[in-house]
Amino acid sequence: MNRFNPLLIVALISMMALVGCNNGEQSSTTQTPPSGTSASETAASPTPTSTTTATTPVATTDFQGLQGVVTNTKAAVEAGNFSKAKGEFEKFEGFWSKVEDGVKAKSPTTYKEIEDKADETKAGLKVSAPNKQKVLTALEVLNKDITSVAKP
């Protein structure tokens, strides 16, 4: 039994290494197809989105996603459903992280305002009794700024 334990440990480590190697091969072939469509290239390498024209539709989609988050959050706030508004606004960062570098390069002032208004909205929705008008004002400015930088 004592001789069997080290053999079992070595076999287990070897199997884990083989499984890890196999997963890496699968994801690398999935991420870098030979012909590559713009959607698969974007999924494989999010960094080039601001430098290649093939990924411009993805950036447009991300801006539309941002605007959708703001619109849905605003509708929930107007209805007085702050828990739904908070849940909607949690999606903001997912879209914003994909476009914020491009926005910062294009317009540092607007970038700063979007960051500030997003923080203000998030903070406004976290409190136990949100100020409806203050949150709506921040969302309106946020939407205006996103719309202005979404234009090519």
pLDDT of 8 strictly over 90: no
59 versus 84: the higher-pLDDT residue is 84
104 versus 9: the higher-pLDDT residue is 104
Integer angstrom CA distances of residue 42 from 20, 21, 29, 60: 24, 24, 14, 13
| pTM across the whole model | 0.59
What is the distance between the terminal CA atoms of the chain, rounded to a whole angstrom? 70
The enclosing H or E element of 51 equals none
Mean pLDDT of 139-144: 94
Express each pLDDT in 91-136 by its tens digit: 999 999 999 898 999 999 999 999 999 999 999 999 999 999 999 9
**Ramachandran class of 48: left when φ > 0, alpha when ψ lies in -120 to 50, beta otherwise:** alpha
Instruction: Retrieve residue 43's tokens.
Output: 């999924």
* Torsion of Cα atoms, 15 then 20 then 26 then 27, to 10°: 170
75 versus 46: the higher-pLDDT residue is 75
